Structures are given as structure tokens and as C-alpha cells.
């Protein structure tokens, strides 16, 4: 070989070495192909360990530790791992060897990248929909609503919702500080984890003009006690809001039970509810406590009142002096026995109710059109309710209640504490009554109890009428201004 040819070969080799000081022997013999953009690069080196020469400049868009998001002049993006000496806007020169090192199935490259010698400006695209083409890109999503404060840990997943009600899964991989619930413009790196698109926030911009919170749900009835069963309605003032709830006191989310019809409960529950609406921050969580009342809760005691019209001594105790072989008019006369009161009235065009005496026997005689009233009297401490009335005598099947004859002369209610109002019986034919047995209950009088935790200028009294300055949990009379009510005070 001539000397000038040897010189030519040496010059070529020196040029190659200058072109890429990091090139391997394999590269020098031409086995590594050169890519001129990201799309070509991913086509030439798609698998782990594949190598490709980077023949084009890359602009750095975002850097976190050794993760470098870059894009080419065509706007294509990808993820590199390497030196953390780069900053957004730096330009990475061409002519270096990249090795494919996929992450969660998406292309990622590493290599001895040359130092940046210049910087340039760049724009981050704004998108409303994330597609597979956006993987490893940095994009901005406008008007993303976070219903809860974002987590600070890098492994926690959380959800953001767009104004179109599209849900995206986020992960705080870059360890940004937490932001409060609200509407934000969010710049994210698009990644893939377990075949699911995950968005990694790089910055948040609060959009205060788009911040709206859904009105909280309203319980009807609110916190109270009940017997046997109760239907609860949930409503929300925000148009189009969807309500979700839990029955065990846990925090509700949009994956909880969805409210569609009134909730029926037949045991004690702590219900929490929250409302969601498109493009708005979810409502505050509201709570209602429903407590099933049992007989033991009301401190019920059973009592009985006997009206013995066939017993002269019993009549005397009622203040009645019936003439021998005569009658005593008792129209509109109130007969009190314990905490029960009875009164008989005369109907239009009918005879007056009387107690008659003949041959040493006495009984109550009622005429068609008469009405018999029974009611319990109340005290400051207890409520009394009638649960059962038994009539004994002749023609008692002609006594009616609410337009229906009494079967066997017996009236009964299913109410746990009984009926504390007035019960009216109608007489359709002449009826002779020897005895009326009235079974009734004595209780604390708390038909419905609600928790009272309001901190206003009020006074509390116990059920004996004594003022209590520092009430503990229990039943009290609550007085505020000219309003008084029985409540269950809860600390």
C-alpha cells in the first residue's frame, strides 16, 4: 500500500473517532444504525438491549433525578435515563449511542449523552384526552378537578376528573407537594404502569375561576331514633349531582353505594354521604346517626287502669255515687284512674250515657251516637301511652274504632310506647259495659331522639325540672329563648 493511501485511511479513522469519541469497535465497523428522529429511533431499537445511534438533537422538557423527558423537532417525545446535569430547555447534541431499556412496556433509552452546549425555548402541548401516542410525553391538562388533597408519597395513586367527567389516574412520582381540593391546570408526564396509563404531575396551576364545590347532601329525616324500621331520603341542591353513601360510618367515595331510592333501615346505622357533579369539587361528607330504640332504651314500665262499673267501691273511688235502683248521668264527666282519663259524650239526638243500678248490680250504659274518649295524662318526667283496651259486657261488638268494629271487644296498637293522644270509640247500638281494662306504658317520653351538640346560649333541665349547668350525655329539656324541647344531649 502506498504511503498516501495509508495517510488517507488514518485521516478517516481520526475523523470517525472525533465524530463519536464514545463509539465502540462494533460501531466503527458500521453495525449500529443511525436514527434521524424519535419515531425512527424507536423503530430501529424497540427491544431491551437494542442500540441505535442518535443522529439528531433533542430538547429537554422536564428532568427529575435521572429521568429526562425530551422531544425532537417533529414534536415526538420520549424518556431517557442518564445524567441529571440537564435542565428544561437544554439541547442534547447528536452523535451518541442509545440503548433501549423499556419501562412498563414503553420505550426508554439510556446512554453516555454528551453535555448540552445550548438551550432553546419550547411549548408544552395542551390536551383534553390522553391517548397511547402521548406515552412518555409531557402535556398539560386544563381544568382537572381533585376532590381530595393530593398525596405527598410517590407511590400513592389518586384520581382527577376533567370538566367532561373523564377520569384520569395520577401518581405523585416526582414528589410534588400536596395541593388542596380544587380545579387545576396540570402538567404531567404520561406513563404506563400495569398496562394502565398513569399521569405523573410535574406542576399544578390553581384555576380559582373554575373552583366550584357540590352542595352537601341532605338527610330526611336527620339523625334520630326509630322503632322497627325507617326510610331515609337523600337530596342535593346541585343540579345533576350523584350521591354516594355508606352504612358503616366509613368515608364514602364514588365507588360507594349509589343513592337512587329511599334507604330503608331496620337497625342502628351511621350513614355518611357525599355528592359528585361533573367538573366540580365533590361535596363535603355529611353524617347522620340513626339509633333503633328498644323497650329497654325507653325505660318502659307497664301499667294498668281498671274501670270496674260493676263494683260500687270502685265507682266510689272515681267519685261516682250511683243511686240504688237508679241511674247516674256521666255525660262529659272526666273519670281519672292513675294516669288515664275517660269521658263519655252525648251524640246528636242520642240519650246521655249513664251508670245504672238494678237489683244490686251496676254497669255503664251507652246509647247509639255516644262516644267514649280515653287519654293518658302526662308528667314532667314521663310519657304515658295506651297500648291495649279491653271491653267486657253485653253487645260490646257494637263498639267501633276508626269505623271498624272491635274484634272481641279488644283494641290494640303496635306502637312501642303506646298512644299518648286521645283514643275515641263510637257506639252504634245500646251497649252495657261491666268493665274496661286499659293497659298503658310509662316511658321517658322520647318518641324520637336527636343528638344535640349545638354550642349556643341555651339552658338545660333534667326531667324533674332542675336546671343542669354542665350536662353529661343523656335526656334533657333544652330551652332556647321561648322554645323548649326534649333532646338527647351528646358530648
Q: What is the pLDDT of residue 244?
A: 95
Q: Give the HSE-up count for residue 336: Cα atoms under 13 Å, Cβ half-sphere.
A: 5
Q: 142 or 479: whose pLDDT is higher?
A: 142
Quick one: which H or E segment has residue 209? none
**What band does 380 get if pLDDT is binned at 50, 70 and 90?**
low
Q: Of the spans 2-11, 19-28, 412-421, 482-491, which averages the highest pLDDT?
A: 412-421
Mean of pLDDT values over 287-313: 82
3-state secondary structure (DSSP) of residue 315? helix
Q: What is the pLDDT of residue 377?
A: 81
Share of the chain above pLDDT 70, in %: 83
Q: What is the pLDDT of residue 221?
A: 87
pLDDT over threshold 60, residue 264: yes
Q: What is the pLDDT of residue 44?
A: 92
Q: What is the pLDDT of residue 465?
A: 55
pLDDT over threshold 60, residue 278: yes
Mean of pLDDT values over 70-95: 85
Share of the chain above pLDDT 90, in %: 30
Q: What is the pLDDT of residue 329?
A: 95
Q: 320 or 472: whose pLDDT is higher?
A: 320
Q: Which residues pair with 446 in a beta bridge?
A: none
Residue range 200-245, pLDDT digits in tens:
898 888 875 445 788 999 998 888 777 778 899 999 999 989 999 9
Instruction: Specify the residue for cell string 378537578.
Output: 145
In the chain, % helix, strand, coil (3-state, to 5) comes to 10, 45, 45
Q: What is the pLDDT of residue 308?
A: 94
Q: What is the pLDDT of residue 29?
A: 42
Dist CA 370 CA 364 (whole Å): 12
Dist CA 35 CA 198 (whole Å): 28
Q: pLDDT averaged over the chain?
A: 81
pLDDT over threshold 70, residue 191: yes
pLDDT over threshold 50, residue 274: yes
Mean of pLDDT values over 160-175: 80
Q: 251 or 14: whose pLDDT is higher?
A: 251
Residue pair 228/293 in contact by the 8 Å Cβ criterion: no
Residue pair 100/47 in contact by the 8 Å Cβ criterion: yes
Residue range 401-450, pLDDT digits in tens:
988 998 889 999 877 778 887 899 999 999 999 999 999 988 764 444 44
Strands 371-376 and 263-265: unpaired
**What band does 147 get if pLDDT is binned at 50, 70 and 90?**
confident
Strand ranges (DSSP E) for 247-339? 257-258, 263-265, 269-276, 286-292, 301-308, 327-329, 335-337
pLDDT over threshold 80, residue 11: no
CA distances from 206 to 147, 159, 175, 183, 184 (A): 13, 16, 18, 6, 5
Residue range 457-484, pLDDT digits in tens:
677 766 555 667 777 777 776 776 555 5
Amino acid at each position: 500500500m502506498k504511503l498516501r493511501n495509508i495517510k488517507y485511511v488514518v485521516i478517516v479513522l481520526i475523523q470517525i473517532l472525533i465524530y463519536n469519541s464514545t463509539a465502540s469497535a462494533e460501531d466503527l465497523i458500521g453495525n449500529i444504525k443511525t436514527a434521524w428522529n424519535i419515531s425512527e429511533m424507536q423503530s430501529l431499537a424497540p427491544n431491551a438491549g437494542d442500540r441505535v445511534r442518535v443522529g439528531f438533537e433533542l430538547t429537554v422538557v422536564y428532568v427529575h433525578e435521572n429521568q429526562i423527558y425530551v422531544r425532537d423537532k417533529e414534536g415526538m417525545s420520549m424518556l431517557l435515563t442518564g445524567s441529571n446535569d440537564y435542565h428544561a430547555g437544554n439541547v442534547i447534541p447528536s452523535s451518541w449511542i442509545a440503548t433501549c431499556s423499556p419501562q412498563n412496556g414503553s420505550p426508554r433509552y439510556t446512554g453516555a449523552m454528551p453535555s448540552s452546549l445550548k438551550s432553546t425555548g419550547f411549548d408544552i402541548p395542551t390536551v383534553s384526552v390522553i391517548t397511547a401516542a402521548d406515552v412518555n410525553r409531557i402535556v398539560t391538562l386544563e381544568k382537572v378537578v381533585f376532590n381530595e388533597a393530593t398525596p405527598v408519597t410517590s407511590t400513592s395513586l389518586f384520581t382527577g376528573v376533567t370538566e367532561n367527567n373523564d377520569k384520569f389516574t395520577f401518581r405523585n412520582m416526582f414528589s410534588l407537594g400536596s395541593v388542596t381540593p380544587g380545579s387545576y391546570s396540570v402538567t404531567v408526564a404520561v406513563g404506563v404502569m400495569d398496562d394502565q396509563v398513569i399521569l405523573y404531575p410535574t406542576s399544578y396551576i390553581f384555576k380559582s375561576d373554575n373552583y366550584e364545590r357540590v352542595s352537601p347532601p341532605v338527610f330526611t329525616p336527620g339523625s334520630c331514633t326509630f322503632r322497627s324500621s325507617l326510610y331515609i331520603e337523600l337530596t342535593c341542591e346541585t343540579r345533576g349531582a350523584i350521591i354516594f353513601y355508606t352504612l358503616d360510618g366509613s368515608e364514602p367515595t364514588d365507588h360507594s353505594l349509589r343513592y337512587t331510592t329511599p334507604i330503608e333501615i331496620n337497625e342502628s346505622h351511621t350513614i355518611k354521604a357525599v355528592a359528585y357533579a361533573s367538573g366540580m369539587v365533590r361535596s363535603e361528607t355529611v353524617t347522620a346517626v340513626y339509633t333503633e330504640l328498644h323497650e329497654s332504651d325507653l325505660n318502659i314500665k307497664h301499667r294498668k287502669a281498671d274501670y270496674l262499673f260493676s263494683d260500687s267501691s270502685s265507682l266510689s273511688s272515681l267519685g261516682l255515687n250511683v243511686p240504688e235502683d237508679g241511674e247516674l248521668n256521666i255525660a262529659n264527666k272526666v273519670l281519672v284512674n292513675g294516669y288515664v282519663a275517660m269521658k263519655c259524650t252525648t251524640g246528636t239526638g242520642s240519650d246521655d250515657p249513664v251508670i245504672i243500678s238494678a237489683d244490686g248490680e251496676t254497669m255503664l250504659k251507652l246509647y247509639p251516637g255516644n262516644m267514649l274518649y280515653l287519654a293518658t295524662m302526662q308528667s314532667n318526667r314521663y310519657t304515658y301511652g295506651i297500648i291495649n283496651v279491653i271491653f267486657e259486657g253485653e253487645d260490646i261488638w257494637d263498639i267501633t274504632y276508626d269505623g271498624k268494629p272491635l274484634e272481641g271487644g279488644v283494641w290494640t296498637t303496635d306502637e312501642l310506647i303506646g298512644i299518648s293522644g286521645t283514643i275515641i270509640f263510637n257506639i252504634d247500638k245500646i251497649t252495657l259495659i261491666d268493665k274496661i281494662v286499659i293497659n298503658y306504658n310509662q316511658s321517658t317520653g322520647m318518641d324520637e331522639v336527636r343528638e344535640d351538640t349545638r354550642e349556643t346560649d341555651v339552658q338545660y333541665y333534667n326531667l324533674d325540672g332542675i336546671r343542669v349547668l354542665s350536662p353529661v350525655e343523656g335526656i334533657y329539656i333544652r330551652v332556647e329563648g321561648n322554645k323548649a324541647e326534649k333532646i338527647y344531649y351528646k358530648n
